[in-house]
Structure 1
């Protein structure tokens, strides 16, 4: 575990006044803690949420804890490409520049279900929804010095994880654990390919990823009953789970393509540090193939060129 003297905490976040951060899934859990920490340091934080009532409650809570916090709402349903396009249009109309896009929202181990557009729910929400949103907002990030895209992955990207191009939507058979692994692996493949394209295009914007370890949030509501008590014992509070995301978003030492997670045993708990991801996540051919398929499925293309191989 990291030396106590070098542990990174939310206290290390510098003044964020004048910066705009869009955080998906910010009404609860990791997203709420991320948004709250940024708002406490003066950022203009946009809570991009599906449920506006829950979003208002979250915004009110942040305002009560940090009077004067600059917090606003944006309706966003990552299970609907129409909603994603509408949200992107509204955000671009409101903001000429976006400093931080934090792709936090997600679902885990859900029963078999599909998005509005017919994508398997976990792959569609966790990966394709954020792929589309990022592509649609990227022209607001590129001109902003020091802008970042941070995508939240998971330890689960290693669990029975592969990209099943022969059945991406799990139509032939469905297993919720490997389906989650596929979605979280896709988050990393996306991050690394996005960074390669940003670098090749000579852009200052960077892409990074993070994972929260085992964090006590609503994301775990689909855990089997026999696992819930065990997970409760080994998990950490959401405020700790949000630290890797915050560090990836804020620490000036972060490099494009880095991945942050907890420093404790098995990366389940602890303070954020650079961690390794699976060999599969670094497969450049797999990254490129997933990118192409994601463009085809979402209809979203990015305003940066394809890097030479």
Structure 2
């Protein structure tokens, strides 16, 4: 890895081995950022790092293992990042999964909710003191959040009936709730937090129920290059400095969220529950 240029923005981003995360990491490096990629599969992460280095000579890109479904892995990754980076200018929560059947993590949580919300929540809290005025936290959510409900008593109940669509939508609602609650907490420090919908992207993340409909949906689907645009806009556009507690669509436009996502009491209840679940 090349040394980061003095003054380069330091970016920490999850989920960069494929899809929009891979494109985002590449374009951030092309923009002169020093990129730390948190990935579950380090071999795949190293291949992406090497690809970026070949495309962007002198790129400062490093790989840190982080399985967001496992709290111990998140803590270890955060410790490594803290050792290497005195400051984080952009923290981008891009990683996400879907699952067709219920799976429990080593910590006893439903895997989709753990990966898509609890891991990012813990990672943010462990790195928050590395953020400084002007830093930005970006959560890649989904328009699926508008279909979701959130029952905090059931959200980690491994005995509850599992519905893949509902589990994914619930985790994406949690992303938006988290972004809004975080924005309030960071407001006095000049740090922003926003969420976005990247579009319906033709990546391997598409679950089987959407893969079946893919031929019918294709006209409304976008590729990973287009799917990364909003994340890149939120990370790089100077016109968005100071914009916080907002939700953007795939075109980078401010759009409304569901009523539940705007419920401050639910935002705070999720925050308190999440902190308890991850052991903070």
| TM class by smaller structure | over 0.9
Find the counterpart in structure 2 of residue 26 from structure 1. 16
Equivalent residues, number? 273
Out of 121, 130, 137, the residue aligned to residue 127 of structure 2 is 137
Contact 1:17 1:42 in 2 (8 A): no
Is 1:175 the equivalent of 2:163? yes
Out of 287, 293, 299, the residue aligned to residue 267 of structure 2 is 287
Q: Secondary structure at the match of 2:64?
A: strand
Q: Secondary structure at the match of 2:160?
A: coil
Deviation of 1:109 (Å): 4.3
Find the counterpart in structure 1 of residue 97 from structure 2. 107
Out of 120, 130, 137, the residue aligned to residue 149 of structure 1 is 137
Out of 180, 205, 212, the residue aligned to residue 192 of structure 1 is 180
Is 1:60 the equivalent of 2:47? no
Contact 2:133 2:189 in 1 (8 A): no
Gaps of 5+ in 1: 1-14, 263-270, 301-309
Contact 1:152 1:209 in 2 (8 A): yes
Deviation of 1:213 (Å): 1.1
Q: 1:26 to 1:192 in 2, by over 3 A?
A: same
Out of 252, 256, 262, the residue aligned to residue 276 of structure 1 is 256
Find the counterpart in structure 2 of residue 248 from structure 1. 234
Deviation of 1:92 (Å): 0.3
Find the counterpart in structure 2 of residue 71 from structure 1. 61
Q: For residues 230 and 188 of structure 1, what CA distance do their matches in structure 2 show? A: 28
Find the counterpart in structure 2 of residue 89 from structure 1. 79
Q: For residues 146 and 110 of structure 1, what CA distance do their matches in structure 2 show? A: 39
Deviation of 1:221 (Å): 4.3
Contact 1:22 1:98 in 2 (8 A): yes
Find the counterpart in structure 1 of residue 152 from structure 2. 165
TM-score (norm 1): 0.85
Q: For residues 219 and 205 of structure 2, what CA distance do their matches in structure 1 show? A: 16
Counterparts of residues 197-216 of structure 1 (less than 5 Å): 197-199=185-187, 202-216=188-202
TM-score (norm 2): 0.93
Q: For residues 211 and 248 of structure 2, what CA distance do their matches in structure 1 show? A: 29
Deviation of 1:253 (Å): 2.5
Gaps of 5+ in 2: none
Q: Deviation string for 1:34-71 (max 9, x for gaps)? A: 11111001110011101011001111111111111111
Aligned-residue RMSD, C-alpha? 1.6
Q: For residues 54 and 91 of structure 1, what CA distance do their matches in structure 2 show? A: 19
Q: For residues 252 and 94 of structure 2, what CA distance do their matches in structure 1 show? A: 16
Q: For residues 285 and 234 of structure 1, what CA distance do their matches in structure 2 show? A: 35
Find the counterpart in structure 1 of residue 276 from structure 2. 296
Deviation of 1:224 (Å): 4.9
Deviation of 1:231 (Å): 3.5
